[in-house]
Homo-oligomer: A and B are copies of this chain.
Amino acid sequence: MKTVVVAGNPKPSSRTLDAGVRLAGLLGAEPPEVLDVIALGPGLLGWGDPEVKHAVELVAGADLAVFASPTFKATYTGLLKLFLDQFATGEGLRGVVAVPLMLGAGPAHALAPELLLKPVLVELGATCPAPGLYQLDSSYDTDSSAADYVRRWGPALTASIGSR
């Protein structure tokens, strides 16, 4: 199973990225490929950058992809969306089972992964059989949220991967 973690935090090597890697690990991928979007740099602001193109192909070729973002202004970051804008509508994530993951400072934005991030992934053609996951950035690495999620939704995610 080819797994990729996409982290859309403007800060490199963020807790967002760490949370994505941990979730991917619990889902059975050890170790996943990691794409820290900010490392792609200014090529994200246009079209046709070779490094960006390579990153898009990496993600498009995954069986399972975790799209991880901190919560900025009650939704995912502009940085993550900048990367997602590079994919083809309806096709760019076809065949990819995608998990929307967001981290926030408090619980008030817990609806954002399901209401806001997931629809973008679906628009790109991803299969998203499980709810968006929201974690607190102060406790994601010690609380049970990731384990609970994997216990509840892991089988649905795995079954969707099998359907390719």
A62-120 with Cβ < 8 A to chain B? 72-85, 87, 89, 106-112, 114-116, 119-120
Q: Does A14 contact B (CB under 8 A)?
A: no
User: How far apart sit A108 and B104, CA to CA, in the bound complex (Å)?
Assistant: 11
- Can you list 14 A-B contacts with CB-CB less than 8 angstroms, sorted by A residue number? A10-B85, A74-B111, A75-B123, A78-B83, A79-B82, A81-B82, A82-B82, A107-B107, A107-B108, A108-B108, A111-B111, A111-B119, A127-B130, A156-B160
Cβ B78 vs Cβ A84 within 8 A: yes
Which bracket fits the contact residues of A?
35 or more
Each complex incorporates copies of this chain amounting to 4
Q: Does A50 contact B (CB under 8 A)?
A: no
User: How far apart sit A162 and B10, CA to CA, in the bound complex (Å)?
Assistant: 37
User: How far apart sit A41 and B73, CA to CA, in the bound complex (Å)?
Assistant: 21
Cβ B10 vs Cβ A47 within 8 A: yes
Interface SS majority for chain A: helix
The 10 closest A-B pairs by CB, nearest first: A159-B163, A78-B81, A78-B82, A129-B129, A108-B110, A42-B42, A74-B123, A107-B107, A111-B111, A73-B123
**Contacts A78-B83, A107-B107, A158-B163 supplied; 18 other A-B pairs, CB < 8 Å:** A10-B85, A42-B42, A44-B78, A45-B79, A73-B85, A73-B87, A73-B124, A74-B120, A75-B81, A76-B81, A78-B79, A78-B84, A122-B131, A127-B129, A127-B130, A128-B129, A155-B163, A159-B160
Residues of B within 8 A of A160 (CB): 129, 156, 159-160, 163
